[in-house]
Structure 1
Amino acid sequence: MALQGEKCRLADPGVYVAISSEADQGSEGNHTIRWLEVHWHDVTDSQEGDFVGLWNEDPSESLGTPLHQNPASGSDGMFRTSEEWNGSLVPTTLDGVGDSCLPYWAGYVRDGVLIYSSCLMIRPRWLEAQKAHLSYTHLTKVALPGTHDAGASDHYAAGTIADVVGRWTFAQDESLWEQLVFGVRYVDMRIAYYPETEEKLFVNHGEVRIAPLQGYIDDVVSFMRQTNEVVIFDIHRLPHGFDGFPERHKELIEVLETNFANWMTPKDLYPDPIMDELWTTGARLIVTYPSSEGSQSVYLWPSVYHLWGDVNTLEDLESYMYTGIPQQANRGSLWSAMTELTPSALDVSLNRWGGLRGAAAITNTPVTQWFRHDWWDQVNIISMDFFLSSDVISVAVEANEMRGRCVWKWASERAKRWWSSSGSNVTAYNTKSKFNGL
């Protein structure tokens, strides 16, 4: 626990490795090329001669010569290296795999001395690693990184959607498996129904069909089987084929319940369970449904609230989020700050930003800083496009650690009932809250 007077903030200087949202296509047009970036932040004492670099081994053990380096001027900045991201580094199974570094490190060097460093991490078990101080925290008081339009990934449909459409369709590069392995714990999904095709259920972005739903479900099932993490599968919209067809809703619900049965969180834990309820029961997968037909199921939760500005400038996004996030901080049910830009019809026709990749290049670094500086103790879920071009996962992990140390918490009545029924030993848990009941 934090001592009285300890500063509770996340704005310490540092560096991180990101993967560019902007990309090129390979020579055959079916391979997306992205590049490693080095970001530095909050270095208020930068000096002439400082530089940042990218290493393929830990520079704190041996500084050596970086793969790439660039002068660092000012308190914040980024440089994009020519190092191409190698997606094959993401493991396809988690047997014996924990939260760990991939072979990319960022470093900040002054006068031949490494001042700050960090690595690009996979975090398949980060929530469980914080179980000691998160167990008696309500889910809405846990900071969770998320992906907007999580299924609109060119992983599932590379080369099948024309570039002019794809640049405004794809919002992610990674599969759901890869998103979860990197540390995402909320996925925003759009599911459609096509009666004329062999596969009926698809993931869409609006009216654009991406890929059959089953592949996405298989990714989530594989992750749930191999970890003890809590995941939110938020069916945000049903954009095509469901209106007026209750039997199609029934079909989708049966698919969800059949595949996710071992982990689905029952609806009677809605709206705001403590984390220990999810871990102890094993009901760690919250699935939401955006239509009244979801009431047929004892498992499907009401939709997550989406704090969405529907704005197309960084300034308007900043204004909307800085107003809206404090208003939602004590909502008491799941909510997500949707921190992406939304193109207008004119933006699309003029190819503004070069598509959603260019929009993410504008937003993701500032959003990371806003989260780090000001929102870390307020946000429930923070969602974005092309999440690896940000540092929100690391910030979320650190934010939860800081909340555990800095926020004195009194146990809510719900938590007390849970401890009593589960036989948990609570004598050592001293709590006091600046939040309304965690």
Structure 2
Amino acid sequence: MGAEVSKQIERRKAIDTQKKNLCDLKEKNGCNFPGYDYNVQDRKNWMSTLGPEKLHVNQIVWPGTHDSATDEIGIPFISRPFGQCQSLSIYEQLVLGVRVLDIRVQEDRHVCHGILLCYHIDVVINDVKKFLSETHSEIIILEIRTEFGHDDPPNFDKYLEAQLGEFLIHQHDNVFNNTVAELLPKRIICVWKPGKSPKPRQGSPLWNSCYLKDDWIDTDLPEKKFESNMKYLSEQPPITSRKFFYRVENTVTPQADNPVLWVKPVTERIHPYARLFIMECISRGYADRLQIFSSDFIEEDFVDACIGLTNARIEGKL
């Protein structure tokens, strides 16, 4: 028992030290990157506001959410805090400005996070369609994967094509060089990542896992995650030559050997340092690599930072 208590005390000290290091770095270098003060007037239509005819797909800093469809997961006040990563619905996230969604499903087409269940995938699809019906020039990256440990939903690719066919941007390398205007009226890049079922083929209405990559670091230590994100990002090709989307997630996650297992208090350890991460990307020479930037419990300031940096790219300030 004494050894376990000592271990937890040292763990707490490590977390506090890492938070302080990030805070000191923020105080030293600031967060005044190009576009930091951009005034976002309409988050719901921000791509339209920036100009679809001049906004290239590979210029966008895509604000995304991690485990996007978990706002109603589990049982309130009992299991929900252990699996909830977002407090907003899919529609509310899209209105806020989110443009990359991370959806996990199990064999019966219900959204899940591990063993915890949420609503049927139809809820997600209907929210996406509602948003698209109310906007004209917003492009969404919709990633749907079979959750680890679960079987693929039968014929799920056919379901997605039937539900979203009119909006689907077909898998093609040329998309990365297109402007938003050149993709319209198609609106969704749908990445389907099955566990065992065949992956979407080249030219398919759906995109396969090769087109959306990340390097997930499973830790609850904020500086460790911050620097690991930076390291993996630095190893990516520049966005101008990249033929895939690369995601960095400003998140840390609860660990089984730590007494704090609720998502929100753990991810708050890194949450305030999103703008610092953008600033450090620029100061360390990796500004041309940042593309998808995701968060738990998404907020306006996170979205505004991504939009501001995107606008700076359009204006040639990076």
TM-score, normalization: structure 2?
0.77
Instruction: Please tell me whether the aligned partners of residues 372 and 395 of structure 1 are also in contact (alpha carbons under 8 angstroms).
Output: no
Q: Distance in 1 between matches of 2:247 and 2:58?
A: 10
Aligned to 1:325: 233
Instruction: Please tell me whether the aligned partners of residues 133 and 404 of structure 1 are also in contact (alpha carbons under 8 angstroms).
Output: no
User: What is the DSSP-based 3-state SS (H/G/I as helix, E as strand, rest coil) of the residue aligned with 1:337?
Assistant: strand
Structure 1 spans left out of the alignment, 5+ residues? 1-41, 45-74, 77-116, 195-200, 409-438
Cα RMSD (Å) of the superposition?
3.0
Instruction: Please tell me whether the aligned partners of residues 148 and 385 of structure 1 are also in contact (alpha carbons under 8 angstroms).
Output: yes
Query: What displacement does 1:271 show?
Result: 6.7
Q: Residue type of the partner of 1:404?
A: I
Aligned to 1:142: 60
Q: Spell out the pairing of 1:271-290 with structure 2 (5 A cutoff).
A: 272-276=175-179, 279-290=182-193
User: What is the DSSP-based 3-state SS (H/G/I as helix, E as strand, rest coil) of the residue aligned with 1:335?
Assistant: strand
Paired residues in the alignment total 276
1:234 pairs, out of 143, 159, 163, with: 143
User: What is the DSSP-based 3-state SS (H/G/I as helix, E as strand, rest coil) of the residue aligned with 2:82?
Assistant: coil
The structure that has the greater radius of gyration is 1
1:397 pairs, out of 286, 307, 313, with: 307
Q: Residue type of the partner of 2:49?
A: A
Which structure carries more strand by proportion?
1
Q: Distance in 2 between matches of 1:319 and 1:241?
A: 32
Instruction: Please tell me whether the aligned partners of residues 42 and 49 of structure 2 are also in contact (alpha carbons under 8 angstroms).
Output: no
Instruction: Please tell me whether the aligned partners of residues 144 and 185 of structure 1 are also in contact (alpha carbons under 8 angstroms).
Output: yes
Whether 2:117 is the aligned partner of 1:209: answer: yes
Instruction: Please tell me whether the aligned partners of residues 193 and 208 of structure 2 are also in contact (alpha carbons under 8 angstroms).
Output: yes
Q: Spell out the pairing of 1:168-207 with structure 2 (5 A cutoff).
A: 168-194=82-108, 201-207=109-115
Which structure carries more helix by proportion?
2
TM-score, normalization: structure 1?
0.57
Aligned to 2:10: none
Structure 2 spans left out of the alignment, 5+ residues? 1-25, 32-36
Instruction: Please tell me whether the aligned partners of residues 192 and 241 of structure 1 are also in contact (alpha carbons under 8 angstroms).
Output: yes
Aligned to 2:163: 259
Q: Distance in 2 between matches of 1:242 and 1:278?
A: 38
User: What is the DSSP-based 3-state SS (H/G/I as helix, E as strand, rest coil) of the residue aligned with 1:287?
Assistant: strand
Aligned to 1:371: 278
Query: What displacement does 1:378 show?
Result: 3.0
Q: Say if 1:240 and 1:220 are closer, same or farther in 2 by CA, change over 3 A.
A: farther
Q: Distance in 2 between matches of 1:145 and 1:270?
A: 21
Q: Spell out the pairing of 1:310-389 with structure 2 (5 A cutoff).
A: 310-330=218-238, 331-347=242-258, 350-352=259-261, 355-375=262-282, 377-388=288-299
| Identity score, percent | 20
Q: Say if 1:345 and 1:43 are closer, same or farther in 2 by CA, change over 3 A.
A: closer
Q: Say if 1:299 and 1:132 are closer, same or farther in 2 by CA, change over 3 A.
A: closer
Whether 2:51 is the aligned partner of 1:131: answer: yes
Query: What displacement does 1:367 show?
Result: 2.1
